[in-house]
Chains A and B, each alone.
Chain A
Amino acid sequence: EDQVTQSPEALRLQEGESSSLNCSYTVSGLRGLFWYRQDPGKGPEFLFTLYSAGEEKEKERLKATLTKKESFLHITAPKPEDSATYLCAVQAAGGYQKVTFGIGTKLQVIP
């Protein structure tokens, strides 16, 4: 059974205070690891796909990295508009392409 564990569950940062969110996963053959941003009452918004250990992707103040067991979402100098829940998900290779999500990290950035 594929599993995704995210930590911390909630994170409160001052504007400009950089930090990292963690995603630990177990999957029988990784096809892809995804990061999404979700605002309250909205559907998840796609951020990144990572396919293999050592891969990194960046978008504005966000940088995602991947190892064989974990992924990190680094947030550099966050702004209040970065406040959201960040979801990590994995997709296994082979068979039908179910995506398994973690419960997310709720990030609050205070001005």
Chain B
Amino acid sequence: ETGVTQSPTHLIKTRGQQVTLRCSSQSGHNTVSWYQQALGQGPQFIFQYYREEENGRGNFPPRFSGLQFPNYSSELNVNALELDDSALYLCASSLNVAGGYTFGSGTRLTVV
């Protein structure tokens, strides 16, 4: 049974650029959630996808967008990057919308 895998592991981008982060869900999991974790803080909910549709969103602007594919893998896209977007981005999958998540190791994004 594979876990949740994220790519890339580290990324450096310039302010104003766009970035795409990728996530492969744990086998059999149909729900994926994305979280942003700033240094020294707990993860903050960005949005959740269930069966390819967004079914919940946290307090993040529209320049944060996502996709879930038929194989339940997912992408997080961030446009017009700002310095404050520098954080660890975590993908988490679960079998359904309730219950504990399995997290990936995250993508460390640095915006300069």
* Residues of chain A whose beta carbon lies under 8 Å from any beta carbon of chain B: 4, 31-32, 34, 36, 41-46, 49, 87, 89, 91, 95-104
Give chain A's interface secondary structure class. Answer: strand
In the bound complex, how far is the Cα of B110 from the Cα of A42, in angstroms? 16
Query: Which of B56, B102, B103, B104 is the one whose CB lies under 8 Å from A97?
Result: B56
- The reply to whether A45 and B103 form a contact with Cβ atoms under 8 Å apart is yes
Q: How many A-B residue pairs have CB under 8 A?
A: 63
Given the known interface contacts A98-B58, A101-B42, A102-B42, the answer about A42 and B105 at a Cβ–Cβ threshold of 8 Å is: yes
- Residues B48 and A34 in contact, CB atoms below 8 Å apart: no
With A31-B98, A103-B42 in contact, do A43 and B103 touch (Cβ < 8 Å)?
A: yes
Q: How far is the CB of A19 from chain B (nearest CB, A)?
A: 20
Q: List 30 A-B contacts (CB under 8 A).
A: A4-B42, A31-B98, A32-B98, A32-B99, A32-B100, A34-B100, A41-B88, A41-B105, A43-B90, A43-B92, A43-B103, A43-B105, A43-B106, A44-B43, A44-B103, A46-B101, A46-B102, A46-B103, A87-B42, A89-B42, A96-B48, A96-B56, A96-B97, A97-B98, A98-B56, A98-B58, A101-B42, A101-B43, A103-B40, A104-B42
Judging by beta carbons under 8 Å apart, are B97 and A43 in contact? Answer: no
Q: State which size class the interface on B falls in.
A: 20 to 34
Given A44-B43, A95-B56 in contact, is the A49-B99 Cβ separation under 8 Å? yes
Across the interface, which residues of B come within 8 angstroms of A91, CB to CB?
Answer: 98
Chain A positions within 8 Å of B44 at CB level: 101
